[in-house]
Amino acid sequence: MMGIWELASLLLGLLALQYLKQLWSSRNYPPGPFQLPLVGGVWWVRKKFSQDIFIKLAKQYGNIFTIWLGSYPIVILSGYQAVKEGLIVRSEDFAARPVTPTLKALFKKRGIITSNGHIWKQQRRFGQVTLGKLGVGKKCTEHIVEEAAHQLVEIFTLAKGHPIDPILPISTKIFKVVCAVVFGHQSYFQEEEIEKILEESETGIKFAGTISHILYELFPRLMDRLPTPFRKMRAMVDKRILHLREEIARHKEYQMQNEPQDFTDFYLLQMEKSKNDPDSTYNEDNLVQCILDFLVAGTETSSTTLQWALLLMGVHPEIQDKVYKEMENVLGTSQSICYQDRKKMPYTNAVIHEIMRLKYVFPIGVARRSVKDVTMHGYTIPKGTFVVPDLTSVLLDPKQWETPRDFNPQHFLDKDGQFVAREEFLAFGAGPRVCLGEQLARMEIFLFFTHLLRSFRFYFPEGTDQINQDPLVGFLLHPEAYKICAVPR
Ligand code: HEM
């Protein structure tokens, strides 16, 4: 029988072999931080994690570098040129998404964001066409967004200039807009239910990057057997899926008598139309995941952007006043503001873009996967490699922006004060996987921002020492909780 020392030596030997294999397989990849056995280079990233970590690593290793998560390489593209090459010039080469053990366990390769191949093509195409039919980016959705913006103004009015934490009111109204697109009626979720969902989604966002998350990615089978936070999260997602299925069932009954009104109606109709098509991926599992994708991708992103917007307006009262003045000049006595008005408001439009640039909500970007062996900058990135286009590094790239770390709306204005759309503004990604909700997000941010700034002057409560503008780093970059006063104009 093997003694304890022999067993320990055997394990050590196996570990050393595994480590040598790990080092050997890394030789053709772009360089990166030192790797430890089992965990790779991720220890370094966790230890030094900050909003800037990938920008700092790019300074050390170049615009294409590798971080090892155990024995999995993650190739990071940094700065405008490298990201443009990855997402635009070689758009098809990196068009897939990685399916990590966590994503597979939670989202089961369905829907749009985490699916690939035929499922992704069919679901994405359908999503795009249907959002178009529902008038996303056009007048029909504009009414929904406008209504939500009015409700938000009412909430601030009720605070009567007293300090108010804007997070919950903004997130709730943005959530309702997405609900209206997918379910057609805003009343399905009651306020309390929405607050619970938003809390749950925050738990999910906070889970990303934790030790528990990393351990699940490295040892999913083992972690599945232990009572970890991941188990709690999976139970939470499964419960939500069950609720969505109940809503879909209600839609099925209602649909018998009516024309399609919302995303779910259109999807159910498509399922019926293609029920005899062997290539069809239209089924209830994919429908549930598409809805979840819209709710997850479409709530925290837009609402966090608006939280940054109010914070920056409080910090820069002179810019806030300039936006107000432009609105007054353009709109005059008219009470309503519509999305088209942005074309007549170059300064306001530039301010919104600058908020999204400087306080970009994703710490890096949304990961992709190479669909074939790709040679870039002299390195080989094998098929199936996890590739992250660091969008923050693009939006802060000193080669592209005059004052990348300052809040400077001039970045989006020409010498005559006209708005300039910059191709380096890759906040929504690019290529075949570009954000599907870009039009909706742009409309929400413009209409919420202008409705609020036309109605109120925002400032921080007396006695507020200093506003922390550094983000809390997680899956998204949130501002630290703050309170703000909204005084009617
Ligand atoms: C400020 C708001 C938003 C930002 C900054 C944002 C940003 C992004 C980014 C960077 C990606 C990845 C793109 C890529 O891989 O190139 C993405 C994907 C996606 N977004 Fe958004 N997004 C926002 C709002 C929304 C909204 C409102 C929705 C829908 C209601 C939405 C739905 C999606 C979907 C479905 C995808 C996956 C696309 C695919 O994989 O084919 N997003 N978004």
Q: What are the tens digits of pLDDT across the range 39-56?
A: 666 666 666 666 788 999
DSSP output for 230-266:
HHHHHHHHHHHHHHHHHHHHHHHHHHTTS---SHHHH
Q: Verify whether ligand 1 is closer than 6 Å to residue 294 (CB atom).
A: yes
Task: Indicate if the pLDDT at residue 386 is higher than 80.
Answer: yes
Q: What is the band of 62 on the pLDDT scale with cuts at 50, 70, 90?
A: very high
Residue range(s) defining the domain that contains residue 433: 4-488
- Count of CB atoms within 10 A of residue 125's CB? 11
Q: Whose CA is nearest to atom 6 of ligand 1?
A: 428
Average model confidence (pLDDT) across the chain: 90
Q: Verify whether ligand 1 is closer than 6 Å to residue 331 (CB atom).
A: no
**How far is Cα 128 from Cα 134, in angstroms, rounded to an integer?**
10
Best residue among 110, 307, 368, 435 to mutate for probing ligand 1's pocket (most ligand atoms within 8 Å of CB) is 435
Q: Whose CA is nearest to atom 35 of ligand 1?
A: 436
Residues in contact with 78: Cβ distance below 8 Å, sequence separation at least 6, in sequence order: 54, 55, 57, 58, 63, 64, 65, 390, 393
- Residue 301 Cα to ligand 1 midpoint, Å, equals 8
**How far is Cα 449 from Cα 171, in angstroms, rounded to an integer?**
14
Both structure tokens of 465: 């020492």
**How far is Cα 163 from Cα 150, in angstroms, rounded to an integer?**
19
Q: Verify whether ligand 1 is closer than 6 Å to residue 288 (CB atom).
A: no
pLDDT greater at residue 193 or residue 91: 91
Measure Cα distances from 360 to 41, 74, 353, 417, 471 in Å.
Answer: 26, 22, 10, 24, 10
**How far is Cα 327 from Cα 334, in angstroms, rounded to an integer?**
10
| Residue 14: predicted pLDDT | 80
Q: Verify whether ligand 1 is closer than 6 Å to residue 219 (CB atom).
A: no
Split into its structural domains, the chain has a count of: 1
Q: 233-242 pLDDT, tens per residue?
A: 888 888 888 9
Q: Which atom of ligand 1 is nearest to the CA of 445?
A: 1
- Residue 172 Cα to ligand 1 midpoint, Å, equals 19
Q: 123-181 pLDDT, tens per residue?
A: 999 999 999 988 776 667 889 999 999 999 999 999 999 999 999 999 999 999 999 99
Best residue among 428, 440, 449 to mutate for probing ligand 1's pocket (most ligand atoms within 8 Å of CB) is 428
Q: What CATH number is given to the structural domain containing 161?
A: 1.10.630.10
Task: Indicate if the pLDDT at residue 187 is higher than 60.
Answer: no
Q: What is the band of 290 on the pLDDT scale with cuts at 50, 70, 90?
A: very high
| Residue 150: predicted pLDDT | 95
